[in-house]
A and B are shown apart, each in its own frame.
Chain A
Amino acid sequence: MNPSRVFVFTLGTLSAIGGFIDIGDLVADAQVGARFGLRLAWVTLFSVAGIMCFAEMAGRVALKTQRPALALARSRFGPRYALFGLIGSLLVTGLLITAELSGVALALELASSVHYLAWIPVVVLLVALVLWLLPFEAMERIYGVLGLTMLVYVVAVWKLAPDWQGLWSSATTLKPVASESWPVYLFFVVTLIGAQMTPYEMFFFSSGAVESRWRPKDLVEMRINVIVGFPLGGLLAIAIQAVAFLVFFEPGVRVEHLSETALPVGIALGKIGLVIAIVGIFAATFGATLETLLASSYDIAQYFGWSYGKLQVPARAARFTTVTLVLLLASGAFALTSINPITVTIVAVACSAALLPFLFLPVLLVANDRELMGELANGWLSNAVGMITIALSLLVSVAAIPLLILTRGGTA
């Protein structure tokens, strides 16, 4: 078997891992597992279905037009609408860059017991070096593979020898546990959706498709990436919820730190398990930092029509390069104000949930344009799933910020 075929899946895996196992998910999944068991696993299933649908659409648009999905937003919907979309998604993704950066620093802190703020400049430098030196595909492959270490969570579930019947019954009970109220339950539904169905996964996947120079003949490869990558991300998310449930629910622990996300793996598999989990968390948050950073600067470059990406030398994409560096440094500076990264994450995730339908809608409209897409335009399945997803995300969008405030970020 040709070894390079193994790497066929890495774009999908990277996008999914960045989207499903970033700092927001790491904390949210563990929180949810500790307080609700698997009663919110259905949310993950919904998120997986929704993001698969839209990532595939965005990927298809990229294959056909060789432009990432949102690059078409301005041409088709005008600069005003596209600008609001740009500002909205920058707001969310920008905050997330800071959160992910902090997540990498927190993973390093866990490994070394050196304070996470001291690691922030190191992480900024590392990210800058990786972006500067590594070609897109190399980045994709390394992080796609390293992120697979998160599978240690699945192994940990197994090792904890759970009562599978109990897990199943928890997963199929669709209401809050006795000690939690409905508003908090709904807040976590919204948080999980915001954390797992992040638009930047979709934009990154389609920008990556362009960088990898996929063409319509690569349709199957693109779809395999979607089918392998995102469900894998969902599986990992549920595994994190499960181990948190098995270790934290009975003692009544509220998860508020990354150390608590990692602990169950140590308890299940010992030191080696904990070390692997920390490596996985490092890789996942590092990958997510790259994704959110690039997604933001791609968005800006695509709106203004600048040259961007790795398909040319940095000097020929000077504005894009500068904006990327500025975003990275600004995020690092914001993190250094010692603002609580978990708080930043929760707010960013709630805002992401609020903006979801507005960022999905353009993709659905573009993918349906027969003139643009030809025979690759949406079929009935994509449209059905897409419209249901948008309808449900409208409900989520309306409820997101009010719930964030009413439940004080889930702490009430």
Chain B
Amino acid sequence: MSEHVSARIALLDKQIVDRDRLAFGRVDDVELSIPTEGALPRVEALHTGAEALGDRLGGVLGRWIGAPARRLRSDGDAPPAIDPELVDQVDPFVKLRARFHELEGVAGFEHWLARNLVERLPGAGHAAE
């Protein structure tokens, strides 16, 4: 993203949809890096999921929100992060160039539930269509 936008207003808490306009989460946190001293911060990644939200909210509330997600994530995996290069547009929602199922590690809970619970019920359809 080359434009200067306010990450807080343009990105945070925005709905994220994928290439097929399927919603799957919100921008719960934004990871910034400062390449050189005095330069503008760069967006390294978009974080989504209850864990990221919990970390951002902080305090007791944040811990409660993030705990189940943190426990479900296996220790080896990194927390879900979206490469900002995948972002196609930011207004009125964040639209990605990829399909939701192609993203690694993102919304794992959704995948897991779809595969193990919902798809087993008659008439539920399939997640990756």
Residues of A within 8 A of B (CB): 65, 67, 71, 74-75, 78-80, 83, 132-133, 304-308, 312-316, 318-319, 321-322
Contacts and interface: CB of A to CB of B under 8 A. Distances in A.
B47 to A, nearest CB: 12
Given A80-B61, A304-B50, A316-B127, 19 more contacts: A67-B15, A75-B14, A79-B53, A80-B57, A83-B57, A304-B53, A306-B24, A306-B110, A313-B129, A314-B118, A314-B121, A314-B125, A315-B127, A316-B114, A318-B111, A318-B118, A319-B110, A319-B113, A322-B117
Contact of A74 (B24, B26, B129): B26
Given A315-B118, A318-B114, A305 B124 contact: no
Interface in B79-119: 92, 109-111, 113-114, 117-119
A305 B23 CA distance: 7
A328 to B, nearest CB: 14
Contacts of A318: 110-111, 113-114, 117-118, 127
Contacts of B121: 132, 314
B26 A304 contact: yes
B126 interface: yes
A313 B50 CA distance: 24
Interface string B3-14: 000000000011
Nearest to B16: A305
Contacts of A313: 124-126, 129
Nearest to B116: A318
A65 B92 contact: yes
- Counting contact residues on chain B (CB < 8 A from A), the size range is 20 to 34
Contacts of B123: 132-133, 314
A68 to B, nearest CB: 12
Nearest to A322: B113
Contact of A315 (B14, B24, B114): B114
Contacts of B118: 314-315, 318, 321-322
A189 to B, nearest CB: 34
30 contacts: A65-B92, A75-B14, A75-B15, A79-B56, A79-B57, A80-B57, A80-B61, A132-B121, A132-B123, A133-B123, A305-B16, A305-B25, A305-B48, A306-B23, A306-B25, A308-B23, A312-B22, A312-B125, A314-B125, A315-B124, A315-B125, A316-B125, A316-B129, A318-B110, A318-B111, A318-B114, A318-B118, A321-B113, A322-B117, A322-B118
Contacts of A312: 22, 125
A74 B15 CA distance: 10
Contacts of A78: 13
Contacts of A132: 121, 123
A306 B110 CA distance: 9
A206 to B, nearest CB: 16
Residue of A79, A305, A319 most packed against chain B (CB within 10 A): A305
A79 B26 CA distance: 11
Interface in B7-49: 13-16, 22-26, 28, 48
Contacts of A75: 13-15
A153 to B, nearest CB: 38
Contacts of A71: 15
Given A313-B126, A314-B124, A305 B114 contact: no
A307 B113 CA distance: 13
A83 B125 contact: no
A238 B126 CA distance: 48
A307 B129 CA distance: 15
B60 to A, nearest CB: 12
A315 B113 CA distance: 9
A306 B56 CA distance: 19
B69 to A, nearest CB: 10
Contacts of A74: 13, 26
Contacts of A304: 25-26, 50, 53
Contacts of A306: 23-25, 110
A136 to B, nearest CB: 16
B99 to A, nearest CB: 11
Contact of A307 (B23, B111, B117): B23
Given A316-B125, A318-B113, A319-B113, A305 B15 contact: yes
Contacts of A79: 13, 28, 53, 56-57
A74 B110 CA distance: 21
Contacts of B56: 79
A157 to B, nearest CB: 44
A87 B114 CA distance: 26
A286 B45 CA distance: 45
B110 A83 contact: no
A65 B65 CA distance: 28
A307 B114 CA distance: 12
